[in-house]
Amino acid sequence: MTAATTTRPEVRVRELELHGHRVSYRIGGEGHTIVLIHGITSDSANWRDVLPQLAERHTVLAPDLLGHGESAKPRGDYSLGAYASGVRDLMIALGIDKATVVGHSLGGGVAMQFAYQFPERLERLVLVSSGGLGREVHLMLRLTALPAAEYVLPLLVAKPFRDAGEALAAGLGRLGLRAGSDLEEIARGFASLGDVDGRQAFVHTARSIIDVSGQRVSATDRLYLSAEVPSLLVWGERDPIIPAAHGRAAQEQMPGSRLEVFEDSGHFPHRDDPRRFANTLGDFIAETDPAELRPEQLRRMMLERS
C-alpha cells in the first residue's frame, strides 16, 4: 500500500486588460487572499517557490506590475501611487475585496502605499527586504539616477549581466552580490532590460524613488498608522541591496509588528528558504485577525500625531 500523495493547487498565469493595458498575473488556491508584489526589474515568477505552498490554504494573486514581466510597458506613471492603484484595480476586476498584501523590495514600497491609499482593502501588511524605510540602497540602483542612464543600460545588460557563467558571476561579484538567489534574480532582472520599453519603465520607476544619494521616498513618518494593522517584516541578514538595519528600525516604529530575520539569506529570503518563508507567512496570517480600519480611526491617529 502506497502513501497518499497531496496534490497542491495549480497556480496559473493569466492576463486581462485594464485601462487599455495588458496585465499578466499568477493566481491559484482558495481562501483568504494573499497579494504578492515583486520588486524592480522582477515579475510574478519571483514568488514561484512559495506560491504552491501558500495556495494550499489561501488564494494567491501575484501580478506583473506595469512595466515588468509580461504586463504592458506603456509610457506613463510609474510612481508608487500608480502601482498601488494598479494593484487595487486588479483586485476589483477579479472580485477581491480585501487581502493580506506582501511586498518585496520596490513591492514593499508599493504595499505601504497601498495600505495608505486603500486601508479599507488591507487585512495585513508584510514587508520583505522592503524599500522606503531608509536612505541606503545599493550603488547599482543609485547609478540609474544619473543623467543618460537609459542610454548606458544597453551596454551594461549586454555583458556581463546578461551572460551566464564566470563573466556574470565576476561582474556582479565586484558589486558585492554573492552567488545564489541574489545573483540569479538580479541577473534575470537585468536581462529583462534588453528591450527599450522595459528599460524606459525601469528608469522611470527607479528615478521616482531613488536619486544618486540613495532612496528619496520614505514611509517612516507614517509607520505609526500601522498600529491598527497586523504587520510582519522579513529580511535577509546578508542583504546587499537594502540593509537589514532598515527592518529593525522599522519594527521599532510599527507598534505590534513582528520581525523575522533569515540569518543566511540576502535580498531574496523567499527564494533562499521558501519553506521557512511560506511557514512564517502562513503562521502570521493564522495567528492574527484581519484589520478593520475605519476612517474615524485614521483621523484620530493622525490628529493625535500632529
* pLDDT, greater one: 100 or 175: 100
Averaged pLDDT, 135-161 = 67
Look up the CATH number of the domain holding residue 279: 3.40.50.1820
Residue 273 near residue 265 (C-beta atoms within 8 A):
yes
Which pLDDT value is given to residue 2? 46
Residue 267 lies in a domain: yes
Active-site residue, 44 included: no
Q: 104 forms bridges with which residues in the sheet?
A: 128
For residue 272, being part of any structural domain is answered with: yes
How buried is residue 204: exposed, middle or buried, by Cβ count under 10 Å (0-12/13-18/19+)?
middle
List the single range of 52-61, 154-163, 212-221 with lowest mean pLDDT.
Answer: 154-163
Angle at 97 between CA 92 and CA 99, to 5 degrees: 110
Q: Please, which pLDDT band fits residue 150 given cuts at 50, 70 and 90?
A: low
Range of the domain at 301: 13-136+218-305
Which is catalytic among the residues 38, 58, 68, 267?
A: 267
182 catalytic residue (yes or no): no
Residue 205 in domain: no
Number of domains in the chain: 1
- What is the rounded distance in angstroms from the CA atom of residue 284 to the CA atom of residue 32? 13
**pTM of the entire structure?**
0.87
Q: Which residues contact 168 (CB under 8 A, 6 or more apart)?
A: 160, 161, 162, 183, 187
- In this prediction, residue 295 carries a pLDDT of 77
User: Of 24, 44, 85, 105, which residue is the catalytic one?
Assistant: 105
Of the candidates 64, 239, 272, 273, the residue annotated as catalytic is: 239
More confident residue, 256 or 179: 256
Is residue 208 assigned to a domain? no
Please check whether residue 28 lies inside any domain of the structure: yes
- Residue 197, pLDDT score: 83
Q: What is the mean pLDDT of the chain?
A: 86
**Alpha helix locations (H) across 145-288?**
149-158, 166-173, 181-191, 196-209, 244-253, 269-272, 274-287
pLDDT of residue 183: 65
Known catalytic residue: 79? Answer: no
